[in-house]
Amino acid sequence: MNEAADSTRPIGVFDSGVGGLSVLRALRAELPLERFVYVADNGHAPYGERDDAHVLKRSHAIADYLITSHGIKALVVACNTATAAAIQTLRAAYPELPIVGIEPALKPAAALSKTGVIGVMATRGTLNSEKFRKLLAGLHGAGTFVLQPCDGLADAIERFDTNRIQSLCGEYTQSMGNFGGTTGEMDCLVLGCTHYAFVDSELATLVGNQINLLEGGAPVARQTRRLLDQFRPGTLNQNPASAQSNLPMFYSTGNVNLLESAVQRWLKMNCKTLALHLD
């Protein structure tokens, strides 16, 4: 395949549902000339409350679909749980494909925190994963991390159930302890699920606007650019005319209307979402 054709191939992005749209938003800001294909596996969501075997199977099925049906030039796993469960086996299965995962921003939070106490909100699947345990172990002595599994929150965001969102955000932030800038208080809150970026204003109201909220979309977008640059020079799209017509393609394995509504709400974009059936 020549460089011109290579540069116009899309980047694949997937999540268990709408949360990965926060990563897609960052990707489009960082790489405005690129084409994207987004798959929401909301027929099998939420991943964070599924076992690793299920998430692994779904991740490989979606990756295979994006490679064979869309000829993607890179894959972004826009889900903390799927990254933890499947990133290593995906890279082993597709060694020629740049694959970018996402992980909770513990390292940036530790560097930023002045109190040394950092809150982490994530799905139970992410917090229980070996990848997360290794990440946490690598930061031994860098700070105190207060871990909060947030059962049901991703699903509430998926369905845009505002009453349940407010109730769960209040319940989980209260159970974590005190937020603030004095000794023993949490001055950083890591949003360890891509869905949670869409309720940052609700969380800021609960913990205080002075608390640093950290999510992973922008670092993933920068890493995607770096990998494409390094993996095969000429892979990035350099044609400015592309920006006018490069609306993402959206696919859903579940409720198409939920994804369309989320795209309109959070990306300010009208889109046609296609139903996708994967075994």
Tabulate helix, strand, coil % of the chain (nearest 5): 50, 15, 35
pLDDT per residue of the chain (279 residues) written in tens, 0 to 9: 444 457 889 999 999 999 999 999 999 999 999 999 999 999 987 787 778 899 999 999 999 999 999 999 999 999 998 999 999 999 999 999 999 999 999 999 999 999 999 999 999 988 998 989 999 999 999 999 999 999 999 999 988 999 999 999 999 999 999 999 999 999 999 999 999 999 999 999 999 999 999 998 999 999 999 999 887 778 898 888 766 667 899 999 999 999 999 999 999 998 889 999 987
Instruction: Read off φ and ψ for residue 91, nearest 5 degrees.
Output: -65, -35
Omega before 46 within 30 of 0, i.e. cis: yes
pLDDT for 246: 77
pLDDT for 4: 46
Instruction: Dig out the tokens for 56 from the structure.
Output: 């692994």
The answer to whether 82 touches 47, Cβ cutoff 8 Å, is yes
CATH class of 106-214: alpha beta
**Domains of the chain, residue spans:** 3-102+217-275, 106-214
Residue matched to tokens 């208080």: 185
Active site residues per annotation: 79, 193
Domain 3-102+217-275, CATH: 3.40.50.1860
pLDDT for 244: 61
The answer to whether 224 touches 76, Cβ cutoff 8 Å, is yes
Q: How far is CA 176 from CA 82, 87, 106, 184, 186, in A?
A: 25, 29, 16, 12, 9
Question: Is-same-fold flag (3-102+217-275; 106-214)?
Answer: yes
